[in-house]
Amino acid sequence: MAKFSLVQKMPRTIWVLGLVSLCTDTSTKMIQALLPIFLVSVLGASWVTVGWIEGIAEATASILKLFSGSFSDYWQRRKELAIAGYGLSALVNPIFALATSPVWVLAGRWGDRIGKGIRVAPRNALVADSATPEQRGAAYGLRQSLDTIGAFSGPLIALVLMAVFNENFRLVFWVATVPGLGAIALLIFGIQEPPSKRPPKPHPLCWSVLKTLPTQLGKPYWMLLLVALIFSLGNSSDAFLLLRAQDVGIAPAFIPLTMVVMNMVYGISAYPAGLLSDRLGRVGVLVTGLLLYAVVYIGFAIVPSPLFIWVLFGGYGLYLGLSQGALLALVADQVPTHLRGTAFGLINLVIGTALLPASLLAGGLWQWIGPAATFGVGSGFAVLGAIVLLGANLSSKQS
């Protein structure tokens, strides 16, 4: 039996992509940790408005993920699209600091998510291109662990700035622009994309390829897509988690600390979970993550006091650590190399497009019934997704 090690040598590209994600998430999470509270408390937005803003932003990003992923397959260049996406997200951050109405926030979130839509599928394909099949789960886990260091550093920085500068939301948003610009420099100067060894292929979105795409991607991939759709219909924006924290009594200045807890657990668990998916199988790790999500959402539905909120955010971070890398590696396992960008783009399209109805449903249930309904429905969709995944008979390819 092969020796199982927690330490593996990773290509330089994986490390640099992780550091780029670290800087970008530091910037993004400084803003996201405060944005729902800023919308409701400062700009006077309703719960439904929050759902609209988050849903529209994510749906737009998801459409672009399909096109950017397929274009990176055709162009056989991932880096340039990643630079464009990270660059746009960094450049729109000042909009939040200048916002005087929810429309400004929508514009900023829309621009930020367009940037994410451009970069995510090429970046995920670049990770798969740069790592060997045997270390693919660990590679995704490492990148996400570094990403998550930024994801808990951002809210922590926001927490300190809010405390020092008397809850000055706009100052925090201005400071958030700095690490985003650093990410662009790292990406431009730190990554050398591996040369393509594939012969030129027709564009994945031309008709001659589209008509054969269902066969080329294969039934296992489409089953995985169905699982992603079912789960995502109940997976509303994380903004509702932050609003729930405030709802049970967490002060606005300490809301970012909930994301610190969540992302700290996420960062600690993502890499070991990726290694486990390489060793024990991706499906089992992903199913465990989905069921944990269901339990955590039930907790958010019935949470009796602020004390339990911290435990729930930690549990949510563990769900992310178990599920995110396993899902990406499972996608890469199911599809041919020349269609990876398209496959990542398509599954991101499904996940993000579902976020619009999911967030609208969550906002409507919260406003007209209460938060217990919002989180109870989300839990039910997660259980259903886990059941379908167990019946899909997917396999993890190691070569």
pLDDT of 398 strictly over 60: no
pTM of the model: 0.69
Question: Which residue did the predictor score with more confidence, 218 or 306?
Answer: 306
Angle among Cα 317, 283, 213 to the nearest 5 degrees reads 110
Query: Angle at Cα 220 formed by Cα 66 and Cα 359, nearest 5°?
Result: 50
DSSP-derived letter for residue 395 is: -
Average pLDDT over residues 268-276: 84
Fold assignment, 12-194+202-390: Growth Hormone; Chain: A; (1.20.1250)
Contacts of 184 (CB under 8 A, 6+ apart): 83, 86, 87, 90
Q: What is the pLDDT of residues 111-165, one digit of tens each?
A: 888 888 788 777 877 887 777 777 777 787 788 778 878 877 888 898 899 888 8
Average pLDDT over residues 200-228: 67
Q: What's the CA dihedral at 316, 322, 326, 327 to 10 degrees?
A: -20
Residues 6+ apart with CB under 8 A from 216: 209, 335, 336, 339
| Alpha carbons within 13 A on the beta-carbon side of 28 | 24
Mean per-residue pLDDT, 158-183: 90
Q: Which helix (H) or strand (E) holds 92?
A: none
Residue that wins the pLDDT comparison between 8 and 264: 264
Of 59, 357, 48, the closest CA to residue 233 belongs to 357
Angle at 383 between CA 382 and CA 389, to 5 degrees: 90
